[in-house]
Structure 1
Amino acid sequence: MSLEVTVLDSIESADRNQWNHVVETAPLGSLFHRYEWLEALEAGTASTPRHLVVHKKGNPVGLLPNVITDVGPVSRLDSLYPGFGGPIAITDEEAVLEALLGVVPRLCDGTVLFSRLRTYDQAAIRYHELFRAHGYDLDVKWCRIALELSQGWEAVSAAMDRTRRRGIRRGHDQAFEIVDVPISRHALARFYDAYAAVMERSGLPVLPYSFFLALEHLDDRLELFSLRVDGEARGSILCYRDDEQSTLHYAYSGVKREHFEYHAAELLHEHAIKWAIEHGYDTYDLLRTAPDFRDGLFRFKSQFGGRVVPLLSWERGVPSPALPVLNLARSLQRRYLD
C-alpha cells in the first residue's frame, strides 16, 4: 500500500483527533508532538511550521513536526523549540520514516541549508542507522536529569545531595503552604514576570510573553505550583504533564533571588515530585541543561539526584555538500538560542 506525505504550513490544517491518535499510539510520542503543543508554538512564537504527515488509506500513520528557525544568516528545518520532536510512526515503521526523511530535502531551499532532529526519548537511538543513511550525524549538545519515581518519595529523597535535603528540612522549619494555581491567562501572565526575571538574572534567553499566554489552551497539561509564606507568594514553578511519556516535566522557574531565604526551590520541587508520585507518573524530569559538570545549572539540577540522560540530535546539510555552511551555523549557534 502506497504512502502519501503531506506538508502542513499550519497545524490547523490537520485533524486534531487523528493527529493526537498517532501521538498517543506511537511509542516515541510525547506531549511535544501533540496538536495542542504545536498550536501553542504557532500562536505564541515566530517559528514557521513545516509539519510532515504520512497517510495510509487516507489515515495518518506517521508524523514529523518541524519549524523553520533562523541561525544567524541562514535557516534550519528544525525540531521544536521549546520542546522536542523527531519522527514517530504507528505502522510500517521503516517505510513511514523513509517517506518522511525523503521529503526533507524538498523543504530546504533558499537560506534553509540544514535539517536537525532533536528527540526527547533516548529510544530514538534505534533510528540512528536510518538517519545516518539519510546524511544525518549524531550530536549531543544538551542533557536532562530524570528522577525515577517508582520507589516512592523516601528513595528519591535519599538519592538527593545533602545540600538539597538540607534545604528541604530548613524550608519545613517555617509555616508555609504550596498552592496548585488554576491555569488562566492571568495566572500565566503573573508567572511570566517572575520567569523573565529569573532568566535575565541567569543571562539566558527569555521566551516570548505570547507563548506563555498561548499555553492557556494546554491547561489540562500544566501544573503551576506556588509557595506561600505569611500569606505572600514566595516563588513558583510551571510543570508540563507528559502523559504519553508518563513524566512530569519541571519546565520554568519563577523563583527570584528574594525567594531564596524561604528555600522556595527545594520546597516547590519536593511538592512537584510528591504530586507526580501521587498521580502515578513514572518520572520527574528537570529537563535540559548543558552536559557540563562545571555548569551551575547542571550542578543545581543534578543535586536532586536522578540520572543524567543525553538529549540526542541528528543534523545534516541540505544538500550534503553544504557541510561547511552547517559548521558555520554551528559556530553561530553559540551566539544565538540553540
Structure 2
Amino acid sequence: MAPQRTRSLARAAAGARGLRRAAPVVSLVLGLGLTLAACGGTTRDSEEERDDPVGEAATADPDAEYRSDLSVAMLPKSVNNPYFEASSAGAERVVAELGGDYEYTGPSDASASSQLSYVNTLSQQATDVVLLSANDPNALCSALEQARSLETAVVTFDSDVAPECRDVFVSQVDGVEVGRALVEMVAEQIGGEGEIAVLSATANATNQNAWIEVMERELAENPDYAGIELVTVAYGDDEDEKSFRETQGLLQANPDLRAIVSPTTVGIAAAARYLQGSEYQGEVALTGLGTPNQMREFVADGTVTEFALWDPTRLGELAAYAGAAVASGIITGAEGETFTAGELGAYTVGADGVITLGPPTRFNAENIDDFDF
C-alpha cells in the first residue's frame, strides 16, 4: 500500500465533512490473522489525531467542490474477480481525475471475517474514503462505525451493509428489477415450465439474497410463472472451483432440472464452463449475471443464450464519486440530496441513503460484441 498522507486541521476549513455526526469510539477488532505488514502510512492511535472534530450531523453543501487530496480505497468481496477489477478500474480513473490517491485491496476469499482486518487497517491509516462490497450485512458494522467515527466516509457498492453502518450505498440497479429480469430470462429460455435452481455466491450476500427473494416472490405470485419451480439454492462462495463443483452437484441431484440461474459473475462463468461440451449443453439452460467478456465464448457456442448485467466500470465510477461527495461535504447521505458524478450525470440520494446506477442490460448473440468489459 502506498503511504497515506496525514490529514491536517486546515482540511476542515476547506470543506471537509467536519461536524458530521456524533459517534462513540469503540475498540478496534484486531489480530484476526490478516495483518498487512507491508502497508505503511499514518495510523490513528488517539483521539487527538483526528483532523475533523466529531459533532452533530452535518448539513450538505451541494455547491462545495470535490476535494483534490482524498485517499480512496476499494475493498471488494474478494480480489482476482473480473467484476470487481472492472469496478476498480472505474473508481481509480475517477480518483485520478480528482487528484487523489487510490488503492485496491482485499482478501482472496469472499468472507466477512477476511474483510474485517482490511477495514481496520484502512481506518487506522486515515483513509478518507472506503468503497466496500460487503460479504455480510452486519458482521462489519462495529469496524465500520469505528472508521466513520474517525471521519472515514464509508460507501458500500454492489452489496450493502445495514444502513446505519455506512454513509451511502451505491446500488447497481433496483433490486426488484434484477430479480424480475432473472425470472423473465429463465422463463423465456425454458418455455415457462420446469424445475430451476439458483447458483448463488455466499449465503450471507445481501444483494444475492435480495434478488433471490424477488425471484421467489415472482414465481409464487405471477401466474405467468406457475409452471416453474425453484427446487434449490446452492452457494459457490464466489469461488470458481467451488461454483464448478456446485454446478455438477445441482445437475446430479436434480435430474429433471431445466435451468440454472446464477446471479454472480463467478458462478455463471463456472457453470458455463461445466456445461460446455457436456451432455447437458443445449439441454439445461443457464442465465444470470455476467460480464460480456467472460461470457462471450459461451454465447458463441450456444452454451448460454442470454444473461444480464450493468456496467461494473460505471458502478465503480459512481461509487468513487459518491465517496468523494461525502468526504467533500457535498452530500451526507440524506434522502433528496444531489450531486454530479462527472460524465455520469446528476444523481439523487434515495431512501436509506441509496444511490442507484441504472437498469440492467441483457446480453445475447445479437449485441454482446457491442460491449467490452
Calculate the TM-score normalised by the size of structure 2.
0.29
- Normalising by structure 1, we get a TM-score of 0.31
Whichever structure has more strand as a proportion of its residues is 1
Higher RCO (Cα < 8 Å, 6 or more apart): 1
